[in-house]
Every structure is written in structure tokens, then in C-alpha cells.
A and B are shown apart, each in its own frame.
Chain A
Amino acid sequence: MELVDKIIKGERAAIAKAITLVESSKDTDQQISRQLISELIKKPGKSIRVGFSGPPGVGKSTFIESFGSYLVSQNYKLGILAIDPSSQITGGSILGDKTRMVEISKNPNTFIRSTPSRGTLGGISMGTREASIILDAAGYDFIFIETVGVGQSEIVASNLVDIFTLIVGPGSGDELQGIKKGITEYADIFIVNKNDGELKMEASKTAADYKSALSYYKKLDELEKQVLLVSAIEQTGMEDVIKTINQIIDQNKLKGIFDERRADQLEYWIEEEVKNIIASDITNRLTSKGNIPKYSEKVMKNEMSMYEAVETITKDTLEQ
């Protein structure tokens, strides 16, 4: 494929077109994109994929602008996939991430792509994984995947990356309640942003709170979770972040966790894909047989119970 060569050469327009293909809902595009991805995975790059999540308003994009500037100043090539949460149920989206990434968006060593989330699991499932394969093949050292921390999206996002980072704000006691057990399994690094000005005291206190909460939930065989203090505005703490990322990656590689994790993720995505295909197949069958309206009417008329209806429809649908 001509596109493959162009991507590997790092041609910006080709990378962009390829991402469009993998995000497209058009059948022919999906076919081409499957072919494309099959070719690209034969030529893997060396990217480290880092996930950034966190509640709205903690300054994720501002942090990425700040941290990204630091990375490109160290001559790293950086690809950013931003899942923009501002999409509406009806209508299109306003993708405004780049208004907060002024400096890095200018840099020739970055590639920044925003994707409207469309409301599905933080929008990650469709194309984000493939987009990161494209950026990997194109030679980016780091691939950032930015998502908004809502609901299930963290789990999905954590299955896309080698390191998963949660960004929180000072005084985020509420989030601490919310993180409880689940998130500690997904996040490797906790970054407390806004360690500046009036909020400095509060930020240190929050970091301490996180540290103690995390040690409480720590499993025996697990690496210690890292809690870092940064200020995106003042660009402080950035060396710590990259140092920590590199440390974790090195350790994980040494212990085989790095590859193990990628293997687990592969399983996850295969399972997801299979489920998706089955689900859409089942949905099609359901619609074509028209059982749902038929049996709901019976339930409404008290001719059968809901459970009987469910059982009958399931049986009928699964029958070949």
C-alpha cells in the first residue's frame, strides 16, 4: 500500500488521512483500514503510549501543553490523540483542545488529532487504538491519549496504553472518594496539578492524601503507585513526570510486565471486537425477526410474563 510507505516516512497528510479511515463508519473505509492496520503492525515503531485522564477542569490539556513542550524540547517526537468530550447528543462537536495546546501544536515534532467522543465510552473504542498504531508506525516516541475521566472510559483507555496517568486537582477530596479501589488498578501515576500560587499548600496536602489512600489499597505484588506534584502553568515538576514514566517502563520491561500487559490488552480488544460483531449480528437478527414488539404486546396484554418473553425471544434469536 502506498499509504503505508507514506505513513512510515512520517508524511503528515498521510497519517491524518489514515486516522480518518480508521475512524470512519463507512464500510469501504473500514475494509481499507483493516488492511492498512494489518500492514502497519508488521512494522512496529518504538512508541510508548501514555494515557491521561481526569475530571473536567483539572487542566489536562494545559498539563499536556506543558509536559509536551518539555518533551519536544528534549527532542522527542510526540503524537497526541485527544478525545474531546464536548460532543452533544444531537449536532456536531466543538473540538477546542488545541486552544489549550498553543505552543506544542506549532512544533514540527508533534502531531495532534482531536476526535469527537460521540458519547460512547469516552469515545475511545472507535479508531483510537488503530490511530495509535498509525502514529507508532510513523515514528512517534510518545503517544498521548487524552480522555475525560467519566464512567467506564478509564478502563477502556487504560487498555490502550503502556502507562496510565490520572490527573487531579488540589483539594480533590471528592475524587478521592470516587477513586476507591477500581481506579488504582488502572492508574500507574497520579499527578496533582495546580501546585502553584495560592493552591500550593492544598496541592501538597492532596498529594499526601493520595499517597496514604493508595498505600492502603496496594496489593502485595504490585509496584508502588506514584503520586507527583506539578504545575502546568509554571511548568514545574515535568522532569519528575518523564523520569517516573521512564522508570516504570524500564522496570516493567525488565520484569516482563510490559509485554504481558500488551498481550492482555490484545486479548481485551479481541474480546471486545468479537463481542461487537456478535452484538451487531444479534441486533440485526432481532430487528429482522420483529420479536421484540410482538412479544412486548403479549406481555402488555398479560398473555405471558416478561421473563417468559425474554426466554422465548432469546431462544428464537440464537437459533440458527
Chain B
Amino acid sequence: MTNKSNNGFNTWQKSFEKETKKNFSDAKSETDEGIDIKPVYTRDDLENFSFVENNSLPGQWPYTRGPKASMYTNRPWTIRQYAGFSTAEESNEFYKKNLESGQKGLSVAFDLPTHRGYDSDDDLVMGDVGKAGVAIDTVEDMKILFNNIPLDQMSVSMTMNGAVLPVLASFIVAGEEQGVDKSLLSGTIQNDILKEFMVRNTYIYPPEPSMKIVADIIEFTSKEMPKFNSISISGYHMQEAGADNVLELAYTLADGMEYVRAAMSKGLDVDDFAPRLSFFFAIGTDFFMEIAKLRAARTLWAKIMKNFGAKNERSLILRTHCQTSGVSLTEKDPYNNIIRTSYEALSAILGGTQSLHTNSFDEAIALPTDESARIARNTQLILQNETGVTKTVDPLAGSYFVENLTEELSKKAWDIITEIEELGGMTKAVKAGIPKLKIEESATKKQAKVDSGSRVVVGVNKYKNPKEPSVDVRVIDNNRVRDDQIKKIQAIKKSRDTKAVEKALANLTNAAKDETNLLVPCIEAIKLRATVGEVSKALEQVYGRHFAKSLSVSGVYGKHFEGDKEFMKVESKIKEFENINGRRPRVLVVKMGQDGHDRGAKIVATSFADMGFDVDMGPLFQSPKDVAKDAIENDVHAIGVSTLAAGHKTLVPELMKGLKEIDPKSKIIVFVGGIIPEQDYEFLYENNVSAIFGPGSNIIESAEKVIDLISDNLSKE
């Protein structure tokens, strides 16, 4: 007899309906993923599973309950904080401090020029050097980065996807020159290029040659670096870009399948490399969903790898790093972020992650300070030492709700994976731009929910803090960092054997023309002190640089506001504007410099268009001069600059200069949105920026401000 037909349940249902004055069947809430959450789950909800197996154990097929039998009862997860600060020297200091205070692994963040394969002295990257991470131009920088950190004892994780070849080569050479053979190096390189094409945009070459490079690295490490993880297949950035958990899960696993195929096409046996594949997921604020996601990921991966013919048990097991969600952090009332991060961390632990990064509460505004980084690390130390969560493996197993949710997520993700496979795999899907568009659609929906108030964000759209606390943030002197890097490059270029470098680079270019593994000639070039930029250019000669086509969703944002007063107010202001001025208000939305995070820009573009603006989208990686030309030719009323990588202090004044150079009488107004520390506001206003919209700004309110500013500006004429 099932529960629902028994008297107990009927009685419960009656009480429920009496208390809530709602029919039980209507009392569901729909998640972003389109899953209906019921107010109660029973034993019935454990039936008819096709993925989850009810009686499985940790460390056993299908590994839902964890990759290891003992999990944290034997050894807790690794606290691995991601960090990188401008220069190798500063980063090195930071690492050493962290290692002293209990951190076990290192995680390196690189600056955007390094990601995109440009040297610090390249004109294209003026505003980006040392922002959002450390600048690496040559192996000398890498050696400083790991000075007095024994690389045979420390596991190093590197977030690098675009310029993987020169960066991994520099790491190997730095180890060698420290006296550590490459076979002893341990750690992970992200090397996950597919998601770059979907969300983060720090690619260099087109998808196909990029996949070849991924396969080269898997091949090389599986033979020469047995302790090194060749790839970290990342869903993190998808969730950061607005993907819901099903999309994140499905696309990440589908990416993984594509990498497995790429490696197998090199003639490797699946068991030669699969045990060294690792994953990376984001953990947001939807507490149980995130737990279920990690459990579902392991369940699905085991099935996928079995289908690939894996024999070794280690090939079937998904191991993952997790990071708390950056996009859930708010600029408003920032101490709330400590609380958000704590719950997210607990989710990751209950989901069974192998390592974790907890964000600092000020990361919605700037790079963390020593103090905020300490709080972030302590969040994990408290979980490990005070809460008792390490004492029982997979404590939520058997929960009617969590098990059911794990199954539901698995099913939904499996459907999407099947779709992608039918399209011919992820490389093809990515080239067609489908996943990117789906993620942007999901992001726009989420934003609309927050802006319309149907999703509460404490301190942002409800329970606002009347006295916003002011927070000290880390300030980076970008020009100083760039000057220092340029001096270092010049010195190295003088002292190295230029002929030998040129020959090594020519060898590399030649190698790119056939099927040779590119890491070997890359290491040679780096050893001779070729720069990251030179190595990237040598390959670019054969592969070219990739420029993404930009597709946009429309109507998704507006749909959430049918009949909304504020929305209609902006719409009618725009209609009035059109009647007076003979055209709609026209806004150019741009990203400048090497920052490829375009979720914000895309959401602004699509929602502004839904309200009635004509929106010009600029290509990624534009220089301020290009933006000025574009804006003037299209005679836009305003330029919206989206900035998330701290380049605005250099790039915005350059833009203003560019506008005046083409048209001394230019009346185009400029507004800036994204991650901008309050300390920079005055500087930007002094440079004639008309408005600044920080993270968590309500888009409708922002749009109204923009249309008002444009109208005011025109009436001054």
C-alpha cells in the first residue's frame, strides 16, 4: 500500500489545506529549472527512479553518495582559495600567508591579458594588466609566483583556458628550474575551453584548434605528469553567467564527454586519462538544489563513462571542486554576503565536494582584502572544526526530498545531454551558439524575477539597509603594475638569445600545421624566454583569432513585466521621446578591454530593447577608440559601459577622449555599470560619467534614469 492512499496522508493533506487555504495540488513552487517543488515528500517519492539507486553506498556505483567510502570522516575537503594579485611578487606573498594559516592548496588567478595571450606591453590591453589576477609574461614571472613554495609538495590549481599552452609550459619550466621534475608536479589546469565560448569569452583560437590544444594537454599530462589533473570541466562560469542548475549540470557533463572524445581521438585509452579529469561547479543560494546537483553530477558521470567503455573504477568517479556563487553576492549591504557564502558552503559540503573556495564578502565590489579573505577561509574552518558536518558521510541520503530532487535533476539534465549529442556534440552546439543563447535566456529570466520583486534578495529589493556600511576595498594601481611588467619584458628581451627564440617560435608555428603535440615545442620556446604573447601569436599565425558571433534573446525580460507599472512608465516615456525626437532613444552597450564577462551587458541590452530603446551591441574586446567611432557613426544618445574587471579607471577616460577627438561637440552621455568600488565613483563622475549602476541595480530604474538623462541632455541643446 502506498502512502498517498493511506489514511495518514489523507489526514495530513486535509490539515495542510486547512492551514494554507490552498489545494494541495496547487501548493507547488516552480524552481528556475522548471522543477515543481512540493510542500511535502513521502516514501512514494523514492519510487520509479531511473538514475538514483536507493540502496547505494558511498564510494560505490553509481557514486551518488560520494566518490569515496569514508569521505570527510577520514579527511575533510581541501580548502582552496582562488587568488591572484596584479604582480607575481604580491601574489607570492599572499600565497605564503595563506599557507601559514591552514590552506592546503594554491589557486592562481591570472589577469585578462594573460588569459587572452597578450603581453603586458601590448597596446590592446592597456586597461587590463594586473586586473582581476596576476600578469604572467614570461617564465620569470612564474618563478617569482612560486618563490619559496616547493612545487613538489604543493598542489597548484591554475584557472587558465585561452593561453593554456604557454602558461602550463611556464609552470613546467618554473618547476624544472626550481629542481622539481614535471612528473612530481601536482595540481590542476582548468583547460576547459568549451565553456569559454559559451560564457566567459577568454578564448584565443576558434573552437576546433582550441579542442586540439585541450587534447594535446590531456595527452601530454597523462604520459608525463601523473599527479597533474589535465582539465577541470567547469560549470561554475555558466551559473555565474545566469544558467540554472539543469543547464549548468547538463552542459558541463556534455563538455566533459566532448573532452573524453577529443582525448580518445589521440589514441589514448579512456582509462589512461579519465581518472585525472576533474570538475568545477558553482554553488548558489538554492540550498537543496545545489546539494542535489552534486549528487546528480556523480550519478550521471558514472553512467556516461561506463558508456565510453571505462573499466577502471576511478574513471567512473566524478571528483569536483566547488566555489560559492559570485553572482549571489551583492554590493548593497555587503556583510549579508558572509551569510550567503556560509549557506552555500554548507550546501557544497552536504553535496560532497572534494575542495571548496568560499568567496570573500567584498568580491562584488573588488578583489578581496587580507581581512575579507580571512573571514572567507574561516567560514570553512568553522564548518570543518565546529559544526560536526564531517562526522557522517552523505548525511542527507534517504531524505525523500533530496533523493527525489537528485533524480529529477538527473532526468532533466539527461534530456539536454541527449539533445546535444544528437546535434553532434558540444563543439558543434557551441559553434552554433545554442548553449550561449539558452544561458542568456535563463539569466534574463532570473534578472527579471529580481527586478520585479518576485524573487527576494535581502538588502537589495527588500529589507534594505537604511545605513549602508562603507567597506574598505583593495585598490590596484594599474599603471604602475603595467610599467613594471613592461620593464621586466624589456630586460628579458635584451638578455635572451633572440635568434634561438625566433627559431623556437618558428618551430611552434610549424608544429601547429600538423598533428604534433604542441606542448613540447612550447616548453622549448618558454625555456628560451619567449613571452606568453609571442607563443600565442606563433599559433595564431596558423589558427587565427576567434571572434564570436553575438546572438541575442528578446522579449524574455519584458514578459515578466506585463502590466507592471514601473515598466509601463518607462515604455511610455520612451514613446513620448520618440514622438518628440523622431526616433527612439539609442544606446550603445559595450565591453571594453579584455574582459569577456558579457552577461551583464547582454541583460542590459535585451531588457532595454524590450522597454523600447534601440540598442547597439558592440563586439567584445573593443578599445575605447573603436567604441567612440562606433557611437558617433550610429549617432547614439548614450553609451553604457559594462565593466567587471576593474579596467574602468583607464578605459572610461580614454573613451571620453576618443569621443572628443572625433567630435569636439559630442553630446553623447556615458553611463557605467558593473563592479565598481564606491571609491571610484568620484573619479568617474569627474570624468563626466553621467550615471553609475553597481551590482544589484534594478534595470527598470536604471533605464528610467538613462532615458531621463538623455532627455535632459537633449533639452539643453
Contacts and interface: CB of A to CB of B under 8 A. Distances in A.
Contacts of B608: 92
Nearest to B626: A106
B614 A96 contact: no
Contacts of B630: 98, 105, 112
Q: For the side of the interface on B, what is the size category?
A: 35 or more
A93 B615 contact: yes
B618 A94 contact: no
A12 B625 CA distance: 14
A98 B614 contact: no
Nearest to A30: B582
Interface in B121-149: none
Given A29-B582, A88-B609, A94 B619 contact: no
A95 B614 contact: yes
B635 A26 contact: no
Nearest to B618: A98
Interface stretch (A14-22, A37-45, A239-247): A14-22
A101 B625 CA distance: 15
A92 B663 CA distance: 26
A280 interface: no
B609 A92 contact: yes
Interface string A98-111: 11111001101001
B605 interface: yes
A108 B662 CA distance: 11
Contacts of A88: 554-555, 609-610
Given A12-B629, A13-B665, A16-B634, A91 B554 contact: yes
Given A88-B555, A92-B612, A102-B547, A13 B666 contact: yes
Interface string B599-618: 00000011011111111111
A255 B617 CA distance: 44
Interface string A122-146: 0000000000000000000000000
A73 interface: no
Nearest to B612: A92
Contacts of B100: none
A254 B582 CA distance: 43
Nearest to A21: B582
B22 interface: no
Given A12-B633, A91-B610, A96 B662 contact: no
A94 B633 contact: no
Contacts of A114: 616, 634
Contact of B663 (A13, A29, A90, A108): A13
A96 B555 contact: no
A25 interface: yes
B166 interface: no
A265 interface: no
A13 B633 CA distance: 7
Nearest to B547: A102
Contacts of A86: 552, 554
A146 B626 CA distance: 21
Nearest to A29: B582
Contacts of A105: 619, 626, 629-630
B583 A25 contact: yes
Contacts of A185: none
Nearest to B616: A95
Interface in B646-683: 662-663, 665-666
Interface string B389-402: 00000000000000
Interface in A143-199: none
A292 to B, nearest CB: 25
Contacts of B66: none
Contact of B614 (A101, A111, A116): A116
A23 interface: yes
A144 to B, nearest CB: 14
Given A13-B662, A100-B549, A93 B614 contact: yes
Contacts of A90: 558, 612
Contacts of A62: 549
A20 B583 contact: yes
A200 interface: no
A96 B551 CA distance: 8
B584 interface: yes
A225 interface: no
Interface string B334-363: 000000000000000000000000000000
Interface in A203-232: none
A91 B555 contact: yes
Contacts of A20: 583, 635
B633 A16 contact: yes
Contact of B633 (A91, A112, A116): A112
Interface in B526-572: 547-552, 554-555, 558
Contact of A94 (B552, B625, B634, B666): B552
B617 A99 contact: yes
Identify the interface centre among A12, A99, A102: most chain B CB within 10 Å of its CB.
A99
A24 interface: yes
Interface string B620-647: 1001011001101111000000000000
B10 interface: no
B550 A99 contact: yes
Nearest to A100: B549
Contacts of A95: 614-617, 634
Contacts of B619: 98-102, 105
A91 B703 CA distance: 13
Contacts of A94: 552, 554, 605-606, 609, 615, 617
Contact of B629 (A23, A24, A99, A106): A106
A17 B626 CA distance: 18
Contact of A99 (B549, B580, B626): B549
Contact of A17 (B552, B615, B623, B635): B635
A169 B555 CA distance: 29
A65 to B, nearest CB: 9
A261 interface: no
Nearest to A88: B554
A169 to B, nearest CB: 14
Interface of B: 547-552, 554-555, 558, 574, 578, 580-584, 605-606, 608-620, 623, 625-626, 629-630, 632-635, 662-663, 665-666
13 contacts: A13-B632, A16-B632, A20-B583, A24-B581, A62-B549, A86-B552, A91-B610, A92-B610, A94-B552, A94-B605, A99-B550, A102-B619, A112-B630
Interface of A: 12-13, 15-17, 19-20, 23-26, 29, 62, 86, 88, 90-96, 98-102, 105-106, 108, 111-114, 116
Given A12-B629, A94-B552, A94-B554, 9 more contacts: A16-B634, A91-B558, A91-B609, A95-B634, A96-B617, A98-B618, A99-B550, A108-B629, A112-B633
